[in-house]
Amino acid sequence: MGQQAEKKVLMKTPFHLAAVVIVIAALLTGCAGGANGGADGNGSKAAGASGSKEQAAAAKANDAPDLSKVTLRIGQTGWPNWELGFKEAKLDDTPYKIEFSVFQGGNNQLLAIAANQLDLAATSEIPPLFAALAANQGNFKVIAVQRGNTLNQELVIPAGSEVKSVSDLKGKKVAYVANTTAHYFLIKMLEENGLTWQDIEPVQLPTSEGLSALLSGSVAALASYGNSIISARQKGATELASAKDILSGNFLIEASNDALADEAKKAAIADFLQRLSSFHNWTRKNQERWAEIVSEQTHQPYEEALGTLKEGEKQRSVELVPISQEAIASLKDVADVLRKVGVLTEDVDVPSIWSEVFAEQLKNLKSP
């Protein structure tokens, strides 16, 4: 289910020590207030109120969950971008442990959440629609939206192909990654060129197998994303159509219902979202260094990685934003398209799979 890497990080300042410091400070404030009260009739009352607030804050801190006992299981697609990025940006000093896992697609991350093998996932708009039709609505809720670019989402053909347009794919085998953006944008591309899903011979394959099928000539075209598109181009494949203007750029962050029901894990997720936003800001300020890491991980030339990063930032700056009616409406539109062509076999209650549990925190994140 992807490679796993466990990161164990200890809190630099033990939580209970911090609470003791607060309590001592509160007691000292109370003593000082008593002394002032002898000289000023209002001093005792004011100091007493201040002491009560300090003690209340200390009590609240004592009731807070112990994050040192939490392990967050987090999914990534394609390569360990968050894991490596947090380390490089010095954001990995979390007061909880993180287990990062790499998956070929967001659909597999949601399968892991359904099986209670993952706490947090990041996907396109497509996987949640299929996952929501499973038992217990997939055991997840969408908790945030990560706005980003839509580059490297393409329909490609192999070198030397006789196919010149999407309409030339009629009656031909076309590989795609099921229940992902590739599934959705292939449907849209066919429609835009007067074809239907029934006009082609769709071949459902994972990213790596789809690339192999394309290069071997087993399929006429491949609808895919990310590393598989980068690799396809490096091996002579060319773009037949791009999905950059088809996709919304909304990438959804999902949490398992089990994690949201656990106060300690919920607190850890809140902290992680803040760090994720800081990571996006770091990549904007350190594009050259981040391009080096991307180049190493995706095996593409550094200049190409940097160019894609700059182009992507220009198209749509990556940022973490709260849930909005516009984002929900966008997902509903995607569901309607998939339902119309019979890819989704049932209607999905789209609003029910969202949760605003982190809404206030997300509103306070710094925009790029």
pLDDT digits (tens, 9 = 90+) for 335-358: 999 998 888 999 999 999 999 999
Question: What's residue 288's pLDDT?
Answer: 97
Q: Which residues pair with 12 in a beta bridge?
A: none
Of 51, 64, 70, 61, residue with least CA distance to 19? 61
Alpha carbons 82 and 76: distance in angstroms, whole number: 7
Cα of 182 vs its chain's centroid, Å: 17
Alpha carbons 11 and 95: distance in angstroms, whole number: 5
- Print the SS3 string covering 123-148: ECCHHHHHHCCCHHHHHEEEEEEEEC
Question: What's residue 62's pLDDT?
Answer: 60
The full DSSP string for 156-185 is EE-TT----SGGGGTTSEEEE-TTSHHHHH
Structure tokens at 102: 């790499």
For residue 46, pLDDT beyond 60: no
Alpha carbons 271 and 92: distance in angstroms, whole number: 11
Q: Which helix (H) or strand (E) holds 77?
A: strand 71-77
For residue 17, pLDDT beyond 70: no
77 versus 54: the higher-pLDDT residue is 77
Q: 18 pLDDT band (50/70/90 cuts)?
A: very low
Helix (H, G, I), strand (E, B) or coil at 214: helix
Helix (H, G, I), strand (E, B) or coil at 153: strand
Burial of residue 189 (CB within 10 Å: 0-12, 13-18, 19+) is: buried
204 versus 60: the higher-pLDDT residue is 204
Q: 80 pLDDT band (50/70/90 cuts)?
A: very high
Burial of residue 147 (CB within 10 Å: 0-12, 13-18, 19+) is: middle
pLDDT digits (tens, 9 = 90+) for 167-209: 999 999 999 998 889 999 999 999 999 999 999 999 999 999 9
Alpha carbons 62 and 23: distance in angstroms, whole number: 10
Alpha carbons 329 and 350: distance in angstroms, whole number: 9
For residue 37, pLDDT beyond 90: no
Question: What's residue 141's pLDDT?
Answer: 98
**What is the pTM (predicted TM-score) of this model?**
0.77
Question: What's residue 341's pLDDT?
Answer: 86
Backbone angle region of 152, left / alpha / beta, with phi > 0 → left and psi within -120 to 50 → alpha: left
pLDDT digits (tens, 9 = 90+) for 235-286: 999 999 999 999 999 999 999 999 999 999 999 999 999 999 999 999 999 9
Helix (H, G, I), strand (E, B) or coil at 275: helix
Alpha carbons 81 and 86: distance in angstroms, whole number: 8
Q: 54 pLDDT band (50/70/90 cuts)?
A: low
Helical spans, DSSP H, in the chain: 15-39, 43-63, 81-88, 106-114, 126-131, 181-192, 207-216, 227-234, 257-261, 263-285, 287-298, 302-315, 325-340, 359-363
pLDDT digits (tens, 9 = 90+) for 113-139: 999 999 999 999 999 999 999 988 999
Please state, for a pLDDT cut of 90, what percent of the chain lies above it.
76
